[in-house]
Amino acid sequence: MDPLELVVDGLAAYRLTRLATADVISEPWRRSVVDRLVANGEEPPGEGDTAQDVVDAMREPPRLATLLTCRWCAGMWIAAGVVGARTLAPKAWSPVARTLALSAAATLIARAEDDG
């Protein structure tokens, strides 16, 4: 594998993992799924709580709820998908991966800026 492709795919996997587990834009979807998974007998989730807050408050959260909020858990599966995409459909995956990688790089650079 080309080292540049590895870097691009790594950043793409990071961006997809962040999108799936923590980004504000995907919170309504994540929260909706977690709310459906709340087991009987658990305290009902609060209105302003995030999906992560709900999962953290549960004694034994459902595995899927944990997968949706745990970057380490989701990242492994997302990385496997990235490898599969690069292997099975490299021409289709390359522009998607570059877009995700640039988005990840922009986010990381913005976080590193000193706005003060």
Name the band, by pLDDT with cuts 50, 70 and 90, for residue 48. Answer: low
Please give the model's pTM, rounded to 2 decimal places.
Answer: 0.87
- One-letter identity of residue 81: G
Q: Which of 26-30, 49-53, 94-98 has the lowest mean pLDDT?
A: 49-53
Name the band, by pLDDT with cuts 50, 70 and 90, for residue 49. Answer: confident
Q: Residue 45's pLDDT is what?
A: 63
Q: What percent of the chain has pLDDT over 70?
A: 91
> Residue 82 — left, alpha, or beta (φ > 0 → left; ψ -120 to 50 → alpha)?
alpha
User: CA 92, CA 82: separation in Å to the nearest integer?
Assistant: 12
Q: Dihedral sign, CA of 71, 76, 78, 83?
A: positive
Query: How confident is the model over 26-53, as a mean pLDDT?
Result: 79
- Cβ count within 10 A of residue 105: 15
Name the 3-class secondary structure at 61.
Answer: coil
- DSSP code of 40? T
Interior angle at CA 107, CA 104 and CA 109, nearest 5: 110
- Cβ count within 10 A of residue 112: 7
The tens digit of pLDDT for each residue in 57-112 reads 888 888 999 999 999 999 999 999 999 999 999 999 999 999 999 999 999 999 99
Q: Which of 31-40, 42-51, 87-96, 104-113 has the lowest mean pLDDT?
A: 42-51
Distant-in-sequence, close-in-space partners of 26: CB < 8 Å, separation ≥ 6: 19, 20
